[in-house]
Amino acid sequence: MKAGKVWLVGAGPGDPGLFTVKGREALLRAEVVVYDSLVGPGILSLIPPGAAAIFVGKRASCHTMPQEQINRILLEQAQKGLRVVRLKGGDPFLFGRGAEELVLLKEHQIPYEIVPGIPSPLAVPAYHGIPVTHRDFSSSLHVVTGHPKAGKEVSLDFEALVRVGGTLVFLMGVAALGAICRGLLEAGMEPDMPAALLQQGTMAGQKRILATVGTLEEEGKRQGVKTPALIMVGKVCSLAKEFAWYESLPLSGYKVLLTRPRERISALAAKLREQGAEVLELPSIRTEAVEEIELLRKVFGRLRKYQWIVFTSPTGVCIFFEKMREEHCDFRSLGSARIAALGEGTGKALEERGIFADLVPEVYDGEHLAKALAKQKISGTCILLPRAEYGNPELVRILEESGAHVEEVVTYRTVYEEQKWIDEKQELESGAIDCVVFTSASTVRGFAKACRGLDFSKVKAACIGKQTAAEAEKQGMQIRVAGKATLDSLAELVLDMKRKG
C-alpha cells in the first residue's frame, strides 16, 4: 500500500481568521486529524465531517497522551495510506515539539509538510494593542518557555534575560508566575517595569491584566486568570491602553454559536466576526439532494406547462438547477414561467444563475408568500414547487384554495448533524456561549437532538422568523426574533442581544 502523508499544521492562536490559507486547505482535505487542547474550537469546526479526529489533549501539567505515543499515531495513520494533519496551537516549531514528531516519520520515509502558524507571542499582544517591539522602548523580542519539567523548579538564566533587555514573553508560565517575577527581580529588573498577563488572546475570553513585575503575581491572583495565557514583560506593555482596539468592536467578548448548514454558514459568520464576535460554526443540519430523481426528470420534460415556479430556499435553488444541468437543461427550458422566491437569500441564489425573481414577499415565510401569489390571479394556473421533504403545508393549502394546481416535488431532505470533536453541550452549560443563532425550525430541532439533556432554558436563541422562534420556544429557550428574515437583520439582533445582556 502506498504510504500516506503528514501535514504538521500550526493552527495559530485561536481566532479562525488567523488560520493560514495553506493550513485551512490541508485541514479541509484531511482524512485523519490529530489535535490538542490549544487548538481553537472555531478551527476544530472546520474538520471535515468524514475525517477521523484523534484528541491527544496536551496542556501544561496534563498530558492525555505521551509524546512517544503521538509520534506513533502519526506514523501508523500515514502507513495506512491516509492524509494526516497534525493540528497544533500556535506554530508547530515554537515550543510545539514539532521536530520530535518528524523523527519517526523521517526514519520510515513518510512524506511530510510543515505549515507554519501565526505564533501567540506575536498575535496575542497585537490583539491587546501591545507592539512587541518599538523604537522608543524595545529593539528585541525574547520568547521563553515558562513551563518547567515535571517536578522541577523554573530554571532560566534570569540575569541574561534582564541584561539583554527588550520585550520578554513567557509561554505556558502562569503556574510559575511567582517564580518568574521573583527571578527577574532578583536578577536586577526594576520592580516598576511594566508587565501583563494576557489571557485567551484573540478569543471571546480575552482579558488583560496590567501591572508591574513587582505586582503582577498579586494582581493576577486578585483578578483571576484562566489558561491559556502568556506573561509579557517590558516597557511596551505601557502602550496597551493607548493602542487597544479589540475591546472597541461591538461584539468583542461575545461568543456566538451558528447552527445553519455548513454550505450556508459563511456569510453570517463573516458579518459577526467583522463586529468582533468569536463565532463557533457547528451546523446542526445538512441538506442532501434526493437520489430518486425520476419525478424531477419528468418535471424537466414539461417545464413549459408551469405558469409559476416557486423556490423557498437557496438550497432548493442550487439543487434544482444542478439537477437541470445534469439533465442537459438550461434556463431556456423554463419558457415563460414566472419565478417566486421566499426571501433575500433565495433571490440572490437565483440571481447568481442569471434569473431575477418576479415576486418576493415582504415577509419571508410560507404563508406570506402564498398570499402574495394568491393576489396574482393564479386560479387555474399550474405551479411547480420544488422544495424540502417536509415543507410548510400552509403554503400549498393557500395556493390550492386560491384555485391553483400545485405540483410539489421533493428535491432535498434535511439530515441532523452531531459534532464529534466539540462538546457544544458542555460549552453551553459552562456559560461559554452567549447566544445561539437559528435560521430555520429544522436547525432548532437538530441542535436539540445534538444537546440532549441540556437545560434549554439557559439558551439565548436568536431566531430568523416566527416559525423558527416557535420551535425554539417549544424547547424552552429564551427567544428573540429578527425584525426581518435576512442575515443583516439577524446580525443586528445579535448586536442588540449583547447590548441588552
Count of beta carbons in the 10 Å neighbourhood of residue 192: 11
Phi/psi for 113 (5° steps) reads -130, 150
Decide if 172 is catalytic.
Answer: yes
Q: CA–CA separation, 384 vs 255, rounded Å?
A: 41
Q: CA–CA separation, 231 vs 209, rounded Å?
A: 10
Decide if 203 is catalytic.
Answer: no
3-state secondary structure 254-266: CEEEECCCHHHCH
Q: CA–CA separation, 71 vs 220, rounded Å?
A: 36
**What grid cell was written down for 300?**
424537466
Q: CA–CA separation, 295 vs 320, rounded Å?
A: 12
Decide if 22 is catalytic.
Answer: no
3-class DSSP state of 244: coil
Q: CA–CA separation, 78 vs 72, rounded Å?
A: 10
Closest CA to 401 of 383, 419, 415: 383
3-class DSSP state of 243: helix
Active-site annotation holder among 15, 36, 365, 434: 36
Active-site annotation holder among 15, 88, 172, 477: 172
3-class DSSP state of 84: strand
Q: CA–CA separation, 491 vs 267, rounded Å?
A: 10
Closest CA to 56 of 42, 79, 72, 35: 35
H helix and E strand count, the chain: 19, 22
Crossing angle of the two packed helices 98-107 and 67-79, in degrees rounded to 10 = 40
What end-to-end distance do the CA atoms of the chain give, in Å? 57
Which one-letter amino acid corresponds to residue 73?
I
Count of beta carbons in the 10 Å neighbourhood of residue 149: 8
CB 433 within 8 A of CB 279: no
3-class DSSP state of 450: helix
Cis ω before 13 (30° cut-off from 0): no
Grid look-up 523548579 returns 153
CB 255 within 8 A of CB 385: no
Active-site annotation holder among 58, 255, 460, 484: 58
Write the CA distances from 20 to 3, 26, 273, integer angstroms.
26, 10, 16
Q: CA–CA separation, 465 vs 412, rounded Å?
A: 22
Residues that are catalytic:
36, 58, 172
